[in-house]
Amino acid sequence: MDVLAKFLQQLINGIHVGSIYALIALGYTMVYGIIKLINFAHGDIIMMGAYFTFVCIVTFNLPIGVALITPVILCLLSGILIERVAYKPLRNSPRLSALITAIGVSFLLENVFFKKFGQNPIPFPQIINPSPISLGPLQISRITFITVLISVLLMILLDLFIKKTKPGKAMRAVSEDPGAAQLMGINVNSTISLTFATGSALGAVGGILYSIAYPLIDPFMGVMPGLKAFVAAVLGGIGIIPGAMLGGFIMGIAESLTKGYISSQLADAVVFGILIVVLSLKPSGLLGKNVKEKV
């Protein structure tokens, strides 16, 4: 029983982190699906979300609801701005140039926050009462509960948005074929902006949830979760939205089980090891379709 309880505990921790990774991975995968760009600056949207929340709560003392919505809106706007300024001019350039610009934007954001807030990690305010809920031998923290709830809710909303609404359909159309989408009267530019907005907003929520789980924020905090979320997106098949969710959960659970049973230092290696195994067996990710090459 004890063994089982420990396993379940690790599993729950994994789902907790995994749901955050999944939220962040959605931003990567949506942007990739639509403009085939690995948006390296997405990890820094996470960091911005955390810092904006910190400023709203600690500096401006805003009520908690406003303090949580404002950063999401700010990140959403930054996402649009970043795309307009840094990526849009390069849409017809070699893809690697846009990748380097994304890295440049990432460096820029990190260093602007570094200059403003300094290098030392700042404690993130406690928003959710961390007292655990007991379920038999299991202790589930309220944080875990709320995080998973919010993430799953957002994913369902996103799925509905993509499948049922007009802008959502436009997004799918542009990612399938931008030229044809334009001929059908879809405004490609605003659809791309919308994609960045949605992705960044999800990233901001992910960032806030991440800082609630690990309540120390620093200017470079977005790099590692960003990288892992990106790996999650690739694992599930990049550009595929359910793939990002699946990949996120797999990453989180694998990481947490490794930390619990093998070694916390090796967790990163195991995560990448899984990626290598999966890609060796399924070269376009778990849910990716293997496109046959035509001459």
Partner 1 sequence: MNSRLKANIINTTSIILIYIILVLLIRIGFINNYYEGILIEMGINIILAVSLNLATGYLGQLTLGHAGFMAIGAYTAAILSARMNLPDLPLLLVSIVLGGLLAAFFAFLMAIPVFRLRGDYLAILTLGFGEIIRVIILNMKITGGGKGLSGILPLTSFSTVYFITVITVTIFYTLINSRHGRAIISIREDEIAAEAVGISTKYYKTFAFTLAAFFAGVAGGLFAHHTLVLDPKDFNFIRSIEILIIVVLGGMGNLTGSVLAAIIITILPRLLMGFADWNMIIYSVLLIAMMLFKPGGLLEKREFSLNGLLSGKKKSQGNTPVKNEGSE
Q: Which residues bind partner 1 (CB under 8 A)?
A: 32, 36, 38, 86, 89-90, 93-94, 96-101, 103-105, 107-108, 111-112, 114-115, 223, 227, 230-231, 234, 238, 263, 265-266, 268-269, 272-273, 275-276, 279-280, 283-285, 293, 295
Cβ–Cβ under 8 Å, residues 66 and 191? no
- Looking at beta carbons only, is 72 or 90 nearer to partner 1? 90
- Looking at beta carbons only, is 93 or 165 nearer to partner 1? 93
Q: How far is the CB of 23 from partner 1 (least distance, A)?
A: 19
- Looking at beta carbons only, is 101 or 211 nearer to partner 1? 101
Q: How far is the CB of 41 from partner 1 (least distance, A)?
A: 10
Q: How far is the CB of 33 from partner 1 (least distance, A)?
A: 12
Q: Residue 100 has which token pair? A: 């380097």
Closest by Cα among 186, 250, 269 to 11: 250
- Burial label for 116, CB within 10 Å (0-12, 13-18, 19+), is exposed
Q: How far is the CB of 75 from partner 1 (least distance, A)?
A: 19
Residue 260 has phi, psi (to 5 degrees) of: -75, -35
Q: Residue 273 has which token pair? A: 């090891």
Q: How far is the CB of 219 from partner 1 (least distance, A)?
A: 10
Using DSSP's 3-state secondary structure scheme, residue 110 falls into helix
Radius of gyration of the chain (CA): 19
- Looking at beta carbons only, is 38 or 67 nearer to partner 1? 38
- For tokens 């905090």, the residue is 221
